Every structure is written in C-alpha cells, then in structure tokens.
Amino acid sequence: MTDVPPSADPTTPVAPEAVPEAPAEARRMQLLGLHHVSAIVADLDRTTAFYRDVLGLALVEQGDNSDDPGSRHFWFGDAAGTPGSLVSFMEYPTMDEAVEGRGGVHHFAFRVGSADEQAAWRDYLRARDVPCSEVFERGRFASIYFRDPDGHLLEIATG
C-alpha cells in the first residue's frame, strides 16, 4: 500500500483557510443551502404534537422510511414542503439514547425575522412548559435554546 500525503487524502479534513475560493462564475458545482435535517425519535405521535402543535410546522408527509420499510418517517416544514424548511424524523422506539460527542449533531436552528419575534417565541415556549434559555447575543444574530421531547437541542435565531 502506498502512503498518501495528508493533503491528497480525501478523508483528511482540510482547514477552511487552506481551500482557495473559486470565482462564482467558474464553479460548476455549488451547494445551494440545506435541503433538510433528519433526526431519530422514539415516538412520532409525540414528535408531531411538538413540532406541529407547539412549533407550528406543517406535517407535509408521513409514511414509511424508504430506506427501512416498516419504519415510520415524517416530514415537517412550511405548508409547501419547501426544501430548506424541512425537518424529518424517523421513528425507532427501541434505539438507545444518543450520546453527545464528536461526529454527532449539537443542535439545529430555526430562523425568525426579528428580536421581538424571538422574545415572543421564548415567552410562548415557557408558557407551554417548554424550558427555554434567555437570549444569547452572538454578534451577527441572537439565539434562544430549548429541547424537543426526545432531547434534541433546538435554537431559534434572529436574522
């Protein structure tokens, strides 16, 4: 086996400052943003009660997981199911609890249009017995944090 220098190994992470940025017109491949985020939950009925009934997301699709027939998979987002608004959940009630650490997802964030709307969400969540942080100023945006029924850390960010 030939040794591959770290700079040529596609599995070696590259520091962002080491990647030269190509001019936009020269790029033939471009990521346009997030399409969706998927998470694993124990109970999709409980998840629906939270994401649809508390957070107000539309349940845009429900059915079997195409990669694991017989397992339920629900999609939430805006009423049209627009990519970028989507969060999907796969139900695995007997799976072990997650352990936070490297390789896992820390949180995912929803966006609101103003600090006033963010404060209204904080108060709304607390009024529904969903523990929620105070506002954290982040410089370019501000954040509040709370957890869903399965313990996923969620953020509502301004901007």
Q: Look up the domain containing 61 and give its range.
A: 34-98
**Other beta carbons less than 10 A from residue 89's beta carbon:** 24
DSSP 84-129: TSEEEEEE-TTSPPP--STTS---EEEEES-HHHHHHHHHHHHHTT
Model pLDDT for residues 42-85, shown as the tens digit of each residue: 999 999 999 999 999 999 999 999 999 999 999 999 999 999 99
pTM above 0.85, yes or no: no
76's CB contacts (< 8 A; 6+ apart) are: 51, 52, 57, 58, 59, 60, 86, 87, 88, 89
Residue 77 φ then ψ, to 5°: 175, -155
Average pLDDT in the chain: 88
Distance CA 47, CA 5 (A): 46
Number of domains in the chain: 2
Specify whether the CB–CB gap between 60 and 81 falls below 8 A: yes
Does 19 fall in a domain? no
93 and 128 share one domain: no
Does 18 fall in a domain? no
Does 12 fall in a domain? no
Alpha helices of the chain — where are they, by DSSP H? 44-51, 115-127
Q: Which residues pair with 86 in a beta bridge?
A: 36
Q: What is the CATH number of the domain that holds 148?
A: 3.10.180.10
Does 140 fall in a domain? yes
Model pLDDT for residues 4-30, shown as the tens digit of each residue: 344 444 444 545 566 566 566 677 899
Distance CA 80, CA 128 (A): 27
Which of 6-20, 24-38, 90-104 is predicted most confidently? 90-104
Alpha helices of 13-66 — where are they, by DSSP H? 44-51
